[in-house]
Amino acid sequence: MIQITETISLPLQDLEFQQIRASGPGGQHVNKVATAVQLRFDIHGSSLPDYCKNRLQQLNDHRITESGIVIIKAQQYRSLEQNKSDAIQRLRLMIQRALKKTKKRIATRPTRTSQKKRLERKQHKGRRKSLRQKITSYE
């Protein structure tokens, strides 16, 4: 069981692991050992609550396919077990991020003093820039 929050947990049967070869540098070892892990998680076929599935599907994340499958590739470590736990941790953080409610922004107007200061700064900058102009002689 993977504990997402205090009330939500995910059974390991919902996750599908596939061993793959890691890309990148690593010498001869990397070419013969499949230590990287690809985690596949079907959002709609999982045992998560419906509201959690909807929030997860609406996440703007490149790791979520249109059909609702999360694909996480973990290849940071040299051992298979560490990469598996890294992939599980990343999935856990993704689900927690989807469940976090964003605060609604309350529109506020700038104060009269701040508007006045802004206009004074603009005038000051304009005067400074006008002093940089070339001086033309009138003859």
Interior angle at CA 36, CA 58 and CA 48, nearest 5? 30
User: What pLDDT is attached to residue 128?
Assistant: 93
pLDDT beneath 70: ranges in the chain: 26-31, 139
Summarize pLDDT for 94-121 with one digit per residue, the tens.
888 888 888 898 999 999 999 999 999 9
pTM for this model (two decimals): 0.67
Instruction: Note the pLDDT of residue 131.
Output: 87
Q: CB neighbours of 53 closer than 8 A, spacing ≥ 6?
A: 43, 44, 46
What tokens appear for 108 in the block? Answer: 């506020």
**Domains (ranges, CATH) in the chain?**
2-99 (3.30.160.20)
